[in-house]
Structure 1
Amino acid sequence: MNGRAAALGAGTVLNALATGVGSAFAIDAETRATVELTPGGDVTGEIDGAPDADTRLIERCVSLVTERYGDGEGGRVRTESDVPMASGLKSSSAAANATVLATLDALGVPVADASDADEASDANDAGRAADDGETAGITREDACRLGVRAARETGVAVTGAFDDASASMLGGVTVTDNAEDALLSREAVEWDALVWTPPERAFSADADASRCELVAPMARLVAELALDGRYGEAMTVNGLAFSAALGYPTDPAVEAMPHADGVSLSGTGPSVVAVGERSDLARVRERWDERPGQTWLTTTRNDGARTL
């Protein structure tokens, strides 16, 4: 009963902390999970390269899946990642999604795409094997909701981060209502992206939510822009508002604005992500390379998470 899966990191269009509505886009950086199930017992987790890291999220993801689709199996889960932890690039959402899919893979539970949503959702609601003896299936959207639930239960994310999780799981750019775990829109995009990640780390659960709520009027404007497909403008307004709310400098964004289609603080920081033409982003990179930390060019992804 072994399974493997990979899920994507993501950048921010709209931080959901102010209003509960959020938006994110998948980038070409993966987190991979390997799950080995045993007939019973506890679930233990390991994060490659971080022996002291908190593994409660990935352990809870395994337990939620086996409780619903298996017989409460225990076992072991291990993740490894190209997404830096606590950097605002949705490492937790990627780890949760990869773990959920790997556990479903270990149990032999089929995962359907959105086109098969009605059939799979009926099986998911039943939460048991179909009458013909086959294992009940689940959509990728509902699979990602299991990871969101685990994030809430373990205190990893204030809002549950359905915006981040949906982009990581489904690919493309998504807009969500995190209070309802509702997907408001999803669109495939072909963007180049430049990421700057400073040396410091910031955990989403530690963000000052009350400070973020002060910029709710700007967040509502960003949501309107995103739902209208004006993602670059939405990113830039979001980045300025939430950098101010969370105490991050706006200099990196200002440096990028003449050359990028959009630039934003990603999540609750500290990473900053710009999107646009690769040649223009290379000019931004020259400025960002002068700062401490790491810069890297990547692209968006529309395929989302997958089993391996």
Structure 2
Amino acid sequence: MVEGVGVAYGAITVVNAIPAFKGAAIGVDLKVVARVKLVEKEIVEGRSRVRGKNVHYDTSLLEGVLRVLKKRIGLETGLIVEIESEIPACGGLKTSSAVANAVIAGISDALDLGLPPLKVAEMSAEANLISGVSITGAFDDACASLLGGLCITDNGEKKLVKRVEVPSFKTIILAPSFTVKKSHLKIERLKLMKTFFEKIWNIALSGDWREALFLNGILCSLALGYDTSLALEAITRGAVTAGLSGTGPAIAIVGDVVEWARKLNFKGEVVETCLRG
């Protein structure tokens, strides 16, 4: 048995990659630590603590990681993983990308492989795709999770088109007490808006990630049936930008509106963090 440790971080959406397979995300300072054990017995086990609470862990993503590493490096072992996550479990905050990143980095540590971050992100995206956790593989999320800053990607090509450092703005995550399964969302509505999302992606590419995040959040919320009032109010309160992250239900608010957020009558968790530039 060999052991290793891997670390990755959460991220927030700037451009949803589902419509055009082109996405953008920014890292946030919410850590995931994966303690990995590679064992001879062909088993896959995962235990997870999220923000201090034990939660049930579905091992399908871990199985996807093993399939990818078997194909890429010929890995033939069982896997036992203990995950400690600061990322709220509501959805939209790139938990699956962060976990896959941390596990692959942990395996790299255990075997002294020295995998570079972009290679880890590429494998993470493949694992997310083949395990059915992500529609696009979420290469943008995987890059932002590992590299921080604004990562703009072509997910179809698994290409990091551009990475830009961003200020370490205070960031509020509104994490509802409920989760929403992708299968219950009208994802086809997003796909019908491909041309709009391509334009938003180009806005992010040109440097205005604040505008891109806001426009993306409005379009995604309207398409998927989420309320936009909190994001809009955050802007009026002085936020730099705000919007739905991923396919929700989490809302990301960038800017120093902490006092306003603390006073919200919000059914869920108000998480205070910052961008990881």
> Do both share a fold (TM > 0.5)?
yes
Residues 89, 62 of structure 1: alpha-carbon distance in 2 compared, 3 angstrom cutoff: same
> Equivalent of 1:208, from 162, 171, 186?
186
Residues 63, 35 of structure 1: alpha-carbon distance in 2 compared, 3 angstrom cutoff: farther
Does the 8 A contact of 2:44 with 2:62 survive in 1? no
> Equivalent of 1:102, from 85, 96, 106?
106
Given the alignment of the two structures, is residue 290 of structure 1 paired with residue 265 of structure 2, yes or no? yes
Does the 8 A contact of 2:11 with 2:145 survive in 1? yes
The aligned counterpart of 1:78 is 82
> How far has the Cα of 1:206 moved from its partner?
5.1
The aligned counterpart of 2:119 is 142
Range with greater deviation from structure 2 (259-268 or 202-211): 202-211
1:46-84 Cα deviation digits (max 9, x unpaired) = 223455331110233145335533541223112121112
> How far has the Cα of 1:176 moved from its partner?
0.8
Q: SS of 1:141's equivalent?
A: helix
CA distance in structure 2 between the aligned counterparts of 1:158 and 1:205, rounded to whole angstroms: 11
CA distance in structure 1 between the aligned counterparts of 2:132 and 2:64, rounded to whole angstroms: 11
CA distance in structure 2 between the aligned counterparts of 1:151 and 1:50, rounded to whole angstroms: 23
The aligned counterpart of 2:230 is 252
User: What TM-score comes out, normalization by structure 1 length?
Assistant: 0.83
CA distance in structure 2 between the aligned counterparts of 1:205 and 1:187, rounded to whole angstroms: 33
Q: SS of 1:296's equivalent?
A: strand
> How far has the Cα of 1:204 moved from its partner?
4.3
> How far has the Cα of 1:38 moved from its partner?
1.9
Amino acid at match of 1:13: V
> How far has the Cα of 1:263 moved from its partner?
0.8
> How far has the Cα of 1:181 moved from its partner?
1.1
Percent identity reads 34
Q: SS of 2:100's equivalent?
A: helix
Does the 8 A contact of 2:187 with 2:224 survive in 1? no
Given the alignment of the two structures, is residue 29 of structure 1 paired with residue 19 of structure 2, yes or no? no
Given the alignment of the two structures, is residue 166 of structure 1 paired with residue 143 of structure 2, yes or no? yes
Q: Computing the radius of gyration over CA atoms, which structure comes out larger, 1 or 2?
A: 1
Moved over 4 A (4+): none
Residues 7, 141 of structure 1: alpha-carbon distance in 2 compared, 3 angstrom cutoff: same
Residues 51, 238 of structure 1: alpha-carbon distance in 2 compared, 3 angstrom cutoff: closer
1:267-286 Cα deviation digits (max 9, x unpaired) = 0001111112x2xx125415
> How far has the Cα of 1:31 moved from its partner?
1.1
The aligned counterpart of 1:263 is 242
Does the 8 A contact of 1:56 with 1:154 survive in 2? yes
Q: CA RMSD in A?
A: 1.8
Amino acid at match of 1:4: V
Does the 8 A contact of 2:46 with 2:57 survive in 1? no
Does the 8 A contact of 2:153 with 2:162 survive in 1? yes
The aligned counterpart of 2:73 is 69
Residues 247, 69 of structure 1: alpha-carbon distance in 2 compared, 3 angstrom cutoff: same
Given the alignment of the two structures, is residue 5 of structure 1 paired with residue 6 of structure 2, yes or no? yes
The aligned counterpart of 1:125 is none
Residues 71, 223 of structure 1: alpha-carbon distance in 2 compared, 3 angstrom cutoff: closer
Residues 284, 163 of structure 1: alpha-carbon distance in 2 compared, 3 angstrom cutoff: farther
The aligned counterpart of 1:42 is 43
1:252-272 Cα deviation digits (max 9, x unpaired) = 111011211111100000111
Range with greater deviation from structure 2 (176-185 or 35-44): 35-44
> How far has the Cα of 1:234 moved from its partner?
0.7
CA distance in structure 2 between the aligned counterparts of 1:43 and 1:63, rounded to whole angstroms: 11
CA distance in structure 1 between the aligned counterparts of 2:127 and 2:134, rounded to whole angstroms: 9
Structure 1: gaps (5+ residues): 112-138, 303-308
> Equivalent of 1:232, from 200, 210, 231?
210
User: What TM-score comes out, normalization by structure 2 length?
Assistant: 0.91
The aligned counterpart of 2:161 is 184
Q: SS of 2:157's equivalent?
A: coil
The aligned counterpart of 1:273 is 252
CA distance in structure 2 between the aligned counterparts of 1:203 and 1:12, rounded to whole angstroms: 18
> How far has the Cα of 1:179 moved from its partner?
1.2
Q: SS of 1:221's equivalent?
A: helix
1:239-259 Cα deviation digits (max 9, x unpaired) = 110000010001011101121
Amino acid at match of 2:29: D
The aligned counterpart of 2:175 is 197
